[in-house]
Amino acid sequence: MAFRSRRFNCVGISRPSIQHATALEGHRTNSSNPDTTMLRLGAVSYLNTKPLIETLPERLGQLGKLRLDLPSRLARDLAAGKLDIALIPSVEYFRGGDDYEIISDAAIACRGPVWSVRVLSRVPMNQIRTLALDEGSRTSAAMSQILLAEMHGLRPETVPFPIGSSPDEIDADALLMIGDRAMHPAPAKYKEIWDLGDRWVRWTELPFVFAMWVARRSAVADPEIRQQIETALNVSRDEGMQQFETIAKREAAGHGLTIEDLHRYFAENLHFQLGNGERSGLAAFREKAEHLGLVPASHSPLQD
């Protein structure tokens, strides 16, 4: 995924085009029933989220309103109660503790090479002393540190890899890259390159979950509302997965990809179902991240 100016998210492509017209300053009432409060949902407009939100506004109808924004703002506003439900990175779900719950089995995950998240090292991996972390993905940052710690016993010093910076400007032994630069690196510049999806699955024998739909428990306390929103999110995901080719034809050229490459990315590199294996992978990720102090420790089990 290219595009440092247009980038993939934690696993995905392209910086979002923020649609402020969809933003909500607060709850809006259902026009057909003024006594009903519309749910406030948030997602990013990265390419890897497109299959999840392609038909979501239509599926939500009067139940809720979708806002597109930056992932950091979505996580902040969900925590502050300015959003009710958001598609957020795994580490942000961990930080939410008991206030959050997974509301849908629609997710962004991988079961092997993910293509858009890589560590590129200028020295052998077991000699890394400094690691530059892409500022666009806290989840991938934690993932890379876990793998280096467990596979090589390393806890390298971390430095920022600002959005918009060139790898040549960064003084570090290795760099975590996401997006198009991760997909099309200059191999001659690096001693070793890891696809983190592939490394995680080989090391743990579990899938990796990058992001999922998370709700504030208080917002979905009504069982009927909870079921309706879960159905809308799941159906939207299912419909989006039937439209990989349509999405690829529309989005590929604008992001410097071929239609075939983008279709393959959706169909082969990404997985959009939060199944039992993904939940086990998510639990393993939380445990490992807590052990290294990368996320706050939690005494609550991951919800089934």
Q: Tell me yes or no: is domain 117-204 CATH 3.40.190.10.
A: yes
Contact between 42 and 66 under an 8 Å Cβ cutoff? The reply is yes
CA distance 66 to 193: 37
CB atoms within 10 A of CB 256: 16
Name the most confidently modeled range: 11-25, 41-55, 126-140, 235-249.
235-249
Rg over CA atoms, the chain: 19
Q: How confident is the model at residue 127 (pLDDT cuts 50, 70, 90)?
A: very high
**Residues 266-291: what's their mean pLDDT?**
98
CA distance 132 to 157: 8
Structure tokens that stand for 149 in this block: 């710690």
Higher per-residue confidence, 263 vs 135: 263
| Phi, psi for 240 (deg, rounded to 5) | -65, -35
**Residues 275-301: what's their mean pLDDT?**
92
Q: Which residues contact 293 (CB under 8 A, 6 or more apart)?
A: none
What's domain 20-111+208-291's superfamily in CATH? Periplasmic binding protein-like II (3.40.190.10)
Q: For the chain, where do the domains classified as CATH 3.40.190.10 start and end?
A: 20-111+208-291, 117-204
Weakest mean pLDDT among 35-39, 46-50, 84-88: 35-39
How high is the mean pLDDT of the chain?
Answer: 87
pLDDT digits (tens, 9 = 90+) for 41-69: 999 888 899 999 999 999 999 999 999 99
